[in-house]
Amino acid sequence: MRREDTGIMTSPEKSRVFIQEVAPRDGFQNEAGFIPTERKIALIDALGATGVAKIEVTSFTSSKAIPALADAESVMAGIRRHPGVAYAALVPNVRGCERALACGVDEINLVMSVSAGHSLANLRRLPADSLAEFERIVGMAAGEVGIAVSLSTAFGCPFDGPVAEREVVDVVERLVGLGIVSVTLCDTTGMANPAQVRSLCGRVRARWPGLQLTAHFHDTRGMGLANAVAALEAGIDRFDASLSGLGGCPYAPGASGNVCTEDLAHMLEAMGYRSGVDLGALLDASRVLAGMLDHPVSSHLLEAGPWHRRYPLPAFARTGSMAGLRRHAQ
Ligand code: ZN
């Protein structure tokens, strides 16, 4: 595909990208107040009509650990499934896997941390224990449901600090050995920078060209979209994102959440990529979400509209009034 007007050129094989919505899980789990089940269902149904490739609907974690998602079964039972959209759920352990399978999810997303500190704080076990648990889960679920693994703290840990590429590669190696074909590299607390993203994503991409790789960025420190471009340039074509940037970071109070879905979809479209996402439908869903929350969200696109938005020329500019031009310049 060639874009003569903007000078942007992308090759046909790299023009398709996949956007995977995580607001109902990554976003809602960070909300202080409980979002009523029927409102969650309404939002997920609106998202299903936007053209996103996948929706992470909920998490089958203990309701004590994440009370905000205690209604996982009811949400899964209540949604209307759009053809062509994969409905996934996060699963931390065997018990969660049993619950997810009973609900007929299309995909389970297993989660583990690369770093020991985050693993102990978030999952109360070491990364090696997660791998052992995954082996049991793969034994239970392989052939019945899609299985993906999200690697938290792949780009840095708020407790242990930098995470070496080697550590990430070693974990991916173990996962591939278990038969996992889909892996998400997560910048869980927004520590990644674009140079680091290009390096790690490029390395994993080159080592396992057939592996389905997703990048999951948080915009905690304003590097989210830049990291997405770096991942794209390293050969990643799947991105997790959250409607209106919903979500947060427990280790950076008040910080924004995931990369904002509508901002990401808009940027990719402006760059000449095809995500299959209808921006208008996404903005409608974003407005539905804004109406459900008691706090503002951080969607640039909702505020500014798309880049091709045009404004009527001010009257003084149309008439060429120099007095008007001088006033405006001040
Ligand atoms: Zn996340």
Taking 80 as the threshold, does the pLDDT of residue 8 lie above it? Answer: no
pLDDT at 249: 73
pTM for the whole structure: 0.91
Has 249 been annotated as catalytic? yes
Taking 80 as the threshold, does the pLDDT of residue 10 lie above it? Answer: no
**Contact assessment for residue 87 and residue 107, using Cβ atoms and an 8 Å cutoff:** yes
Tokens of 231: 């991942």
Give me the sign of the Cα torsion angle 251, 255, 257, 259.
negative
Taking 60 as the threshold, does the pLDDT of residue 11 lie above it? Answer: no
Measure 153 CA to ligand 1 centroid, in angstroms: 10
Tokens of 86: 């994969």
Other beta carbons within 10 Å of 299: 23
Write phi, then psi, for 309 (nearest 5 degrees): -60, 135
**Mean pLDDT score across all residues of the chain:** 92
Smallest CA-to-CA distance from 276 within 10, 12, 18, 3 is with 18
Give pLDDT tens digits for 71-90.
Answer: 999 999 999 999 999 999 99
- CA distances to 42, 94, 261, 314 from 216, rounded to whole Å, are 24, 24, 11, 42
- Domains of the chain: total: 1
Beta pairing class for 107-113 and 146-152: parallel
Q: How far is it, in rounded angstroms, from Cα 76 to Cα 108?
A: 13
**Contact assessment for residue 108 and residue 95, using Cβ atoms and an 8 Å cutoff:** no
Res. 3 pLDDT band, cuts 50 70 90: very low
Measure 103 CA to ligand 1 centroid, in angstroms: 23
Which residues neighbour ligand 1 (ion) by CB within 5 Å? Answer: 26
Active-site residue, selected from the candidate residues 157, 186, 249, 260:
249
Beta pairing class for 8-9 and 2-3: antiparallel
Write phi, then psi, for 325 (nearest 5 degrees): -60, -40
Burial per residue of 87-112, b for 16 or more beta-carbon CB atoms within 10 angstroms, e otherwise: bbbbbbbeebbebbbebebebbbbbb
Give pLDDT tens digits for 157-170.
Answer: 999 999 999 999 99
Residue 235 lies in a domain: yes
Measure 59 CA to ligand 1 centroid, in angstroms: 12
Measure 26 CA to ligand 1 centroid, in angstroms: 6
Residue 152 lies in a domain: yes
Measure 4 CA to ligand 1 centroid, in angstroms: 37
Res. 229 pLDDT band, cuts 50 70 90: very high
Res. 113 pLDDT band, cuts 50 70 90: very high
Measure 145 CA to ligand 1 centroid, in angstroms: 22
Measure 3 CA to ligand 1 centroid, in angstroms: 33
Taking 80 as the threshold, does the pLDDT of residue 323 lie above it? Answer: no
Q: What is the CB-side half-sphere exposure of residue 243 using CA atoms within 13 A?
A: 33
The CATH number of the domain where 86 resides is what? Answer: 3.20.20.70
Taking 60 as the threshold, does the pLDDT of residue 2 lie above it? Answer: no
Q: How far is it, in rounded angstroms, from Cα 224 to Cα 221?
A: 8
Smallest CA-to-CA distance from 129 within 162, 90, 94, 179 is with 94
Residue range of the domain that includes 20: 12-329
Res. 111 pLDDT band, cuts 50 70 90: very high
Taking 70 as the threshold, does the pLDDT of residue 93 lie above it? Answer: yes
- Provide, rounded to the nearest whole percent, the portion of the chain with pLDDT above 70: 92
Residue 168 lies in a domain: yes
Residue 4 lies in a domain: no
Give pLDDT tens digits for 29-53.
Answer: 988 889 999 999 999 999 999 999 9
Tokens of 7: 């000078």
Residue 286 lies in a domain: yes
Mean pLDDT of 298-324: 85
**Contact assessment for residue 189 and residue 154, using Cβ atoms and an 8 Å cutoff:** no
**Contact assessment for residue 239 and residue 214, using Cβ atoms and an 8 Å cutoff:** yes
Mean pLDDT of 277-288: 94
Residue 127 lies in a domain: yes
Mean pLDDT of 143-152: 96
Measure 46 CA to ligand 1 centroid, in angstroms: 21
Residue 222 lies in a domain: yes
pLDDT at 297: 84
Residue 7 lies in a domain: no
